[in-house]
Amino acid sequence: MTPESAERRANPRFSAIFDLHGAPSDGGVVARMQAADLSLGGLRCTSNEDFPEMTRLAVRLELPIDGNGQSDPVDVEAVVVRRKEIVSHTQKEPRYELALFFTSLEDDTKERLTRYLDR
């Protein structure tokens, strides 16, 4: 980790691949997403839908349970803090990389995320 990235991170990020879904808090299209990393402060993911920066999203994380194909759904509120289009010559549909910042975490949700990250 470079000092530049260390200074901006309040929570360490862990590599984590799992599915999630997100939609604007005021309603709209539900995006299929896949997480690339996760922390208690937010996550980085790819999405089949584009959301402008500062869009508030209702997000459902599908945290894997012990690799048995089951998941633990966790609902959070987040805001898009960074976005970029992923250019691919092999995929027909565009994909987007999004950085999401969790705007509020209930104590129970924070505890569940901490347990997942501690594995």
The pLDDT, as a whole number, for residue 104 is 87
pLDDT, tens digit (0-9, with 9 covering 90-100), for 55-111: 999 999 999 887 677 888 999 999 999 999 998 777 778 899 999 999 989 999 999
> In the prediction, which pLDDT does 1 show?
31
Strands (E), the chain: 14-15, 19-24, 31-38, 42-47, 56-64, 71-86, 95-104
Q: Report yes or no: 74 and 54 within 8 Å, Cβ to Cβ.
A: no
How many CB atoms sit inside 10 A of residue 92's CB? 5
Check if the beta carbon of residue 50 is closer than 8 Å to that of residue 76. no
Q: Report the distance separating Cα 15 and Cα 88, nearest Å.
A: 23
For the stretch 9-68, pLDDT in tens is: 678 888 989 999 999 988 888 999 999 999 999 999 999 999 999 999 999 999 988 767
Q: Which domains does the chain have, with CATH numbers?
A: 3-117 (2.40.10.220)
pLDDT the model gives residue 23? 95
pLDDT of residue 67: 67
